[in-house]
Amino acid sequence: MISLSNALEEKLKAALEKAFSVASEPAGSARISLDPQLVTASKPEFGDFQANCALALAKSLKESPRAIASLIVDQLNADKSFLRLCEPPQIAGPGFINFTIRSECLIEELRKRLIDKRLGVHLVDEALPREKLGTVVVDFSSPNIAKEMHVGHLRSTIIGDSISRVLEFRGYRVLRLNHIGDWGTQFGMLITYLKDVAPEALERPDAVDLGDLVVFYRKAKQRFDEDSLFQKNAREEVVRLQRGETLSKKAWGLICHQSRREFQKIYDQLDVQLTERGESFYNPLLHKVVNDLDDCGLLVVDSGAKCVFLEETFGKDGKALPVIVQKSDGGFNYATTDLAAIRYRFGEVPEGDGAQRVIYVTDAGQANHFSGVFEVARRAKWIPPDCNLEHVPFGLVQGEDGKKLKTRSGETIRLRDLLDEAIQRAKVDLCRRLDEEGRQEDETFIEQVSATVGLAAVKYADLSQNRITNYQFSFDRMLALQGNTAPYLLYAFVRIAGIARKGGDLQAHIDKIEFNQDEEWALLKQLLRFDEVIVQVEEELLPNRLCNYLFELSQTFNRFYDQIPVLKVEEPIRSSRLAICRLTADTLKLGLGLLGIPTLERM
Ligand code: ARG
């Protein structure tokens, strides 16, 4: 209802201007604020919107708030165009003004939405050509080579994908970057170890799996700690790799390739698109980061390490904490790479991305890392005017016992196993239901529905939590058909598809729309809020707002569906009801789509 609330706000501003124009201000007083303070009504019985300005104005004008409110209402009631938009306003409590949009206007909005693929959500800046809008970089997922992708990476992948989808839908150019951990001294160890025990892994792209690499990595580290000759060889290997020697580069490339294959399976399964640009990409820019920090006078050498000290951040000992950009052995850090990446993304480097906003989706444990890195970039003046860096943190994924998520035998859960289990459990639920309902379905149906529901459940469970808090992973809860779950929302959509199968033409053109039941109006008003919710998600980067909205929409729809007959009524009521069913289906489909969840016609 953004267009309606904007229209109402304009009328209110005009009324305020008329009632309290400068002329009536007491001489010498400061200019009073004529902001209508319009908000969404807190309860449906108060109408649709509420203006709170009378209370603030009463203070400046030394009048009673109700008297002020009634002056405003008089102005509004004298405005014909206002009365076409709203019912006569009501003054409530100490001086709030409540507004109810006229039903004709709501129906008009419904008509507009029925022919608008974007369902009322405007492009971010329609006046600007797309290429003028700055790019938004969303840095998400970002697992590490030769390590299993863990549930934290899953969270980052799901949240980052949804944020990217919302921003893309609003019309931004989004660069979805996978900042893979593909560089570092550990590769020296791993290559040296593989040369010895599994040389084929350094020759063929498909010789080993990520699982094998993880084991090799663990053993390599053990050998490194115990064996001084191995240590020496591994260090020499790092030097060769950093120098870019062909054989070392090739071995490194093969290791990356074998990890990447496994990551890609997960991305394919989740339908997530990412452009890989790992840490190694920024190698050639690292020296310049250190030199330029030195030139700005920000660098301090502390026990041989090159650091930037930030007075605001303190360690446990009360001393200022440094951001270390080059270790005493000459090696660079995670932070150095992130600094180089910032410069590249903002386009400090000629071929860079020209981003306007860079969003990092990682666990909250990296908050200090990012605030340090962002502050260094700010001091070095690497953040162009009107550009932003944002860390989008999320909490831990916990098991049902509130502890770290583990398998029964106490090991970390492999993501592929976790997703497969969700699908498997969805299949068991589905087969039980089919049995109870005496339905016969073929194998393709069962496979497709279980995969969609299982993956949707995992994604939705994650997205529907406020991302900042820790979240408890529970297959039972996320797969339940009742409650704020993916199956519940998917089922609402299936009900509407069912209406169509029973002969309701959802696409039919309608001339006359007429509603006469509270459930219809409640559903329509809920539908018209979609545009506000999307804009809010874009601003706060909180996909759970969209989840809550879709959940409430499904509940409102289910109340309508249970109480109100759709097919067995006369025209024009029948077509009118079919029309809101269709808008409900479209809104659920688009909304779930922005969460990365596809809908089903039957389940
Ligand atoms: N690879 C890192 C990890 O697994 C996440 C990288 C996040 N992105 C970044 N630009 N630092 O924790």
Are 221 and 189 in contact by the 8 Å Cβ rule? The answer is yes
CA-based nearest residue to 111, from 575, 552, 588: 575
- 427: pLDDT strictly greater than 80: yes
Structure tokens at 176: 């979805």
Q: What percent of the chain has pLDDT over 70?
A: 96
pLDDT of residue 203: 86
So what's the pLDDT on residue 519? 96
Q: What does the pLDDT look like over 133-168, one tens digit per residue? A: 779 999 999 999 988 888 889 999 999 999 999 999
Residue 130: pLDDT band by 50, 70, 90 thresholds?
low
> Is a pLDDT exceeding 90 seen at residue 206?
no
pLDDT of the residue at 314: 65
Report CA-CA distances (Å) from 235 to 34, 215, 223, 311.
Answer: 69, 20, 13, 35
- Alpha-helical segments (H) within 271-355: 286-295, 334-346
Give the nearest ligand 1 atom to 338 CA.
Answer: 10
The CA-atom distances, in angstroms, between 347 and each of 341, 362, 376 are 10, 23, 17
Provide the residue count of the chain.
Answer: 603
- Going from the N-terminus, what domains does the chain have, and what CATH number goes with each? 2-101 (3.30.1360.70), 185-277 (no CATH), 282-394 (3.40.50.620), 415-594 (1.10.730.10)
Average the pLDDT over 383-408 and give the result.
Answer: 89
Sign of CA dihedral 193, 199, 200, 203: positive
pLDDT above 70 (res 28): no
* pLDDT tens-digit map of 237-286: 988 988 889 989 998 999 899 889 989 999 999 999 999 999 999 999 99
First to last CA, the chain: 32
Which of the four pLDDT bands, split at 50, 70 and 90, describes residue 21? confident
- Looking at residue 572, its pLDDT comes to 92
* Average pLDDT value for residue range 469-485: 94
| Protein residue closest via CA to atom 7 of ligand 1 | 142
3-state secondary structure of 20: coil
For the beta carbon of residue 487, count every other beta carbon within 10 angstroms: 22
Which DSSP helix (H) or strand (E) runs through 326? strand 320-326
Nearest atom of ligand 1 to the alpha carbon of 370: 11
User: Separation of 179 CA from ligand 1 center, angstroms?
Assistant: 6
Kindly indicate the confidence band of residue 127, based on its pLDDT and cuts at 50, 70 and 90: low
Helix (H, G, I), strand (E, B) or coil at 175: strand
Which two structure tokens, joined as six digits, stand for 555?
Answer: 């509940």
Determine the Cα–Cα distance for residues 141 and 157; give it in Å rounded to an integer. Answer: 4
CB of 134 closer than 8 Å to CB of 357: yes
Rounded distance, CA 119 to CA 3, Å? 12
pLDDT in tens, 317-328: 767 778 999 999
Q: Ligand 1 — pocket residues by CB below 6 A?
A: 139, 142-144, 179, 181, 338, 341, 360, 362
pLDDT at 125: 78
Pocket probe mutation, ligand 1, options 362, 371, 392, max atoms within 8 Å of Cβ? 362
The DSSP annotation for 449-477 comes to HHHHHHHHHHHHHHHTS-TTS-EE--HHH
Least confident of 35-39, 137-141, 389-393, 578-582: 35-39
Query: What confidence tier does 207 reach under pLDDT thresholds 50, 70, 90?
Result: confident
In three-state form (DSSP H/G/I as H, E/B as E, the rest C), the secondary structure along 142-157 is: CCECCCCCCHHHHHHH
How close is the Cα of 315 to the center of ligand 1, in Å?
A: 22
Q: How confident is the model at residue 533 (pLDDT cuts 50, 70, 90)?
A: very high
- Give the mutation target among 366, 369, 374 for probing the ligand 1 site: most ligand atoms within 8 A of CB: 366
Pairing type for strands 49-51 and 38-40 reads antiparallel
Q: Tell me, what's the pLDDT at 511?
A: 84
Question: Which pLDDT does position 311 carry in this prediction?
Answer: 77
Q: Whose CA is nearest to atom 4 of ligand 1?
A: 143
For residue range 79-99, what is the model confidence (pLDDT) as tens digits?
999 999 999 999 999 999 999
* Nearest CA, atom 6, ligand 1: 142
Per the model's pLDDT, the better-predicted residue between 505 and 325 turns out to be 325
Across the chain, what does the average pLDDT equal? 91
pLDDT of residue 287: 95
> Measuring from atom 9 of ligand 1, which residue has the nearest CA?
179
What does the pLDDT read at residue 141?
A: 97
**What is the pLDDT averaged over residues 480-497?**
97
| Substitution candidate for ligand 1 out of 150, 179, 276 with most atoms within 8 A of CB | 179
Task: Specify the higher pLDDT residue, 319 or 197.
Answer: 197
Q: What is the pLDDT of residue 243?
A: 86
Q: What was the pLDDT predicted at 34?
A: 82
- The average pLDDT across 568-589 equals 95
Give which of 169, 545, 176 is closest to 358, Cα–Cα: 176
**366 alpha carbon – ligand 1 mean position (Å):** 9
The CA distance from 521 to 515, in Å, is: 7
Q: What is the pLDDT of residue 26?
A: 57
Model confidence at 472: pLDDT above 70: yes
| pLDDT band for position 129 (cuts 50, 70, 90) | low
Average pLDDT rounded to a whole number, residues 47-58: 90
